[in-house]
Amino acid sequence: MDFIQEGEKTKKMSEDETYRGWKNYQTWVIDHWLRYDPDSLSRLYEGAKAAGDRQTFATSLKEALGAEAKGMLDAGDLVPTARGIFGDLLCHSLDSVDFEEIADHVFEEIKGEKAEEGVSEGTEPATLADLREAYNLAIERGEDFFVIGEMKFQTFFAGYILNFSDKYNVQDTISLRDMIQKGEW
């Protein structure tokens, strides 16, 4: 049972509560930090593709992060108290991460990339409706950016695009590529 602070009161977080659309805070924060750094994000996708399946990837991701944390603790890269009490907390937090949920999310994105790579001429491009759907999912998951096809969007900027589109009654069926090329935002 985790505890969260609410002003002056502390309350127990029930097991069925989620955090920003993820199983728990620990899962969200690991996914968030892996995506925040472009090098980590690249290694995340490479690792998933090399693993070949979700379960193998989830296991290897858990082992890699656990080994990295243990290495930092053993090498003394953290202050002495961090190796004791905070080291225990770090290890417990890693045990709480749902690596399979992260793997599912990564494989969904890889599946989307492969679908985009296989798109032939004349196939419908991503639309404003696709942007709206991806934006809502990114907000729910607390992500700072997301990808639609080969286009990467910062979540806050996508919000501006959608507000502009709503203000000027731009139809959700318009192609994002056409909007970009015509400079309509």
| Domain assignment of residue 108, given as a range | 19-118
* pTM of the predicted structure, to 2 decimals: 0.56
Q: Specify the residue for token string 């069926």.
A: 173
Q: What is the pLDDT of residue 2?
A: 47
What does the alpha-carbon distance between residue 109 and residue 120 come to, in Å, rounded to a whole number?
Answer: 19
* Residue 37 belongs to a domain: yes
pLDDT at 143 over 50: yes
Least confident of 10-14, 18-22, 59-63, 64-68: 10-14
State residue 80's pLDDT score. Answer: 55
Indicate whether 14 belongs to any domain.
no
- The answer to whether residues 178 and 143 belong to one domain is yes
Number of domains present in the structure of the chain: 2
Q: Is residue 139 part of a domain?
A: yes
pLDDT of residue 9: 42
Domain final residue, candidates 101, 118, 135:
118
Neighbours of 172 (CB within 10 A): 14
Number of other CB atoms surrounding residue 48 within 10 Å: 23
Is the C-alpha dihedral spanning 33, 35, 36, 41 positive or negative?
positive
Query: Do 108 and 134 fall into the same domain?
Result: no
Do 30 and 95 touch, CB atoms closer than 8 A?
no
Which of 62, 87, 118 is the last residue before a domain boundary? 118
Please indicate, yes or no, whether residues 73 and 156 belong to a single structural domain of this protein.
Answer: no
At residue 1, the pLDDT reads: 43
Could you tell me if residue 9 is inside a domain?
no
Give the whole-angstrom CA distance, residue 126 versus residue 23.
29
Q: Where a domain ends, among 118, 142, 163?
A: 118
What are residue 13's phi and psi, to 5 degrees?
Answer: -90, 125
